[in-house]
Amino acid sequence: MTASGERPNRAARGRWVFLSNVPVPEAHLLGLAVGAVLRRTRPLPLPGPRSAHRLVGLPLITAGAWRIGRAVRAARRTRLAHPDRLVVTGPYAVSRNPMYVGWALLHLGGAVARGSGWGLASFVPVAAWMHREVLREERVLDDAFGAEYRRYRAAVPRYSGITCRGRPGRARTRTPWPRTGRTGRACRRCC
């Protein structure tokens, strides 16, 4: 309901769901903010010319934004905060956490493009923090979806489309299952 008592139209509700599926990456924002403060107080520039920093950083930023955009689009009909179904298509067929991968690329790209050693150094604790969050979310999804999520988890790597054995996952199949290693199980390091 709006302030005047009217129901919002369907398009307005669709925009809200779309925007609510873009999680705010508090850890990455905090890491970049700390890096920016330290950069001002105790500069730690990356070696090399600024043009080289931009040459490396801007493609990382672009790749991160593209990855996040595709993940949001694939999940547009599901509320990610309280999912009623698993999203297993699009970038979710290659990575169980494409938005986290996208935010990580944005973080790295921003730090490199600005030539900030502190921004780059902040990535390590941020990545550890985000990994703990991913593990917590996986437990929640396992409880909510049971065997369906366990099959998906066994078939799709946690972060990238490459398993720890270096083989690409099946991204273009009708369903992403099953893709496992020689043992028939996903590894515990990356999957």
In angstroms, rounded to a whole number, what is the distance separating the alpha carbons of residues 108 and 93? 24
Note the pLDDT tens digit of each residue in 104-144: 999 999 999 999 999 999 999 999 999 999 999 999 999 99
Amino acid at 8: P
Whether residue 81 contacts residue 20, with contact meaning beta carbons closer than 8 Å, is answered with yes
pTM of the model: 0.76
Domain ranges of the chain: 10-155
